Amino acid sequence: MFIYTSTNKVYGDAPNYFSYQVKDKRYEPNDPKLYDGFNEGLRIDGVLHTPFGVSKASADLYVQEYARLFGLRAGVFRMGCITGGAAMAVEQHNWEPFFMKKALSDEPLTIYGYGGYQVRDVIHARDLAALFFEFFRNPRPGEAYNIGGSRANSISLLEAIDLIEEITGRRIRYSHGPAREGDHIWYISDISKAKGHFPAWNLTYSHS
Ligand SMILES: NC(=O)c1ccc[n+]([C@@H]2O[C@H](COP(=O)([O-])OP(=O)(O)OC[C@H]3O[C@@H](n4cnc5c(N)ncnc54)[C@H](O)[C@@H]3O)[C@@H](O)[C@H]2O)c1
């Protein structure tokens, strides 16, 4: 049994080739077909990956290939933002606890690009582990799944700041910096493939 914790960065900046508009405090896609997010059919060619994304995509393909060629009971799970009690509050790694730390410490925060309207879907590590357990019980070798909090647990950085301020009763002092190369404007994981393959699995954690 082998589970590869891949990433939505295997798609590089493919999400940025779609058009979006600001609605309230977040970007939303103009194409209604994207409402529930990106499925596994998103292209990986002709996009900017960053060296990190290339290394993850390479391993992602190796795992699929070994499952198909050699019968390895292996699956690929492509996540974006994972959070939980053990998440490190470090800039450019786990933004949710990092924002919380900034609120509690009263230190200034920099938002990189897109005015804070960029959207992510966040999944709790326990929900992810529960899915891995379902895969362990009923492996589907060589499959790749987009995994995240889905539309229901999507949030923009500005919305997250509002929520953290509401929870902590403190203000976050923030300014804006340049966008990071290839950073997604909007990414929500369409988790319908995983839900179809593992009907016993559900998301149990939400923002509130
Ligand atoms: N954190 C996220 O939001 C996120 C999103 C998508 C994918 N991922 C992927 O999930 C995986 C874990 O990420 P993370 O954020 O939990 O990282 P992390 O740094 O918090 O955890 C990595 C763990 O792996 C252990 N480790 C490192 N080398 C090892 C080795 N040779 N043998 C055994 N253990 C070793 C480390 O001690 C550490 O406990 C990575 O592959 C990452 O690309 C993470």
Cα of 153 from ligand 1 centre, angstroms: 22
Give the pLDDT score at 207: 77
Structure confidence at residue 92 (pLDDT)? 81
Partner residues linked to 77 by β-bridges: 5, 145
Region 32-56 average pLDDT: 97
Question: For ligand 1, atom 1, which residue shows the shortest CA distance?
Answer: 82
Average pLDDT over every residue of 20-49: 98
pLDDT tens-digit map of 58-69: 999 999 999 999
Contacts of residue 12, defined as CB under 8 A and 6 or more positions apart, other chains included, come to: 44, 47, 48, 49, 50, 53, 182
- pLDDT given at position 208: 61
Mean pLDDT of the chain: 96
Q: How confident is the model at residue 179 (pLDDT cuts 50, 70, 90)?
A: very high
Determine if the pTM surpasses 0.85: yes
Q: Spell out the domains of the chain, with CATH numbers in brackets.
A: 2-197 (3.40.50.720)
Tell me which residues have their CB closer than 6 angstroms to ligand 1.
Answer: 5, 7, 79, 81-82
Residue nearest to atom 41 of ligand 1 (CA): 5
Is residue 134 within 8 Å of 198, Cβ to Cβ? yes
Residues in CB range of 37: below 8 A, 6 or more apart? 121, 146, 148, 150, 151, 154, 187, 188, 189, 190, 191
Do the bridges between strand 119-124 and strand 154-156 make them parallel or antiparallel, or are there none, so unpaired? Answer: antiparallel
Q: Which atom of ligand 1 is nearest to the CA of 83?
A: 3
- Ligand 1 atom with the shortest distance to the CA of 79: 6
Instruction: Return the pLDDT at 170.
Output: 97
What confidence category does residue 85 fall into, taking pLDDT thresholds of 50, 70 and 90?
confident
Q: Which of the 8 DSSP states describes residue 191?
A: -
> 126 pLDDT exceeds 70?
yes
% of the chain surpassing 90 pLDDT: 95
Backbone angles phi, psi at 120, to 5 degrees: -135, 155
State which of 5, 123, 147, 184 you would mutate to test the pocket of ligand 1, scoring each by most atoms of that ligand within 8 A of its C-beta: 5
- State the helix-helix crossing angle for 95-105 and 157-168, rounded to 10 degrees: 40
Q: Do the Cβ atoms of 134 and 200 come closer than 8 Å? A: yes
Distance 5 CA to ligand 1 centre (A): 8
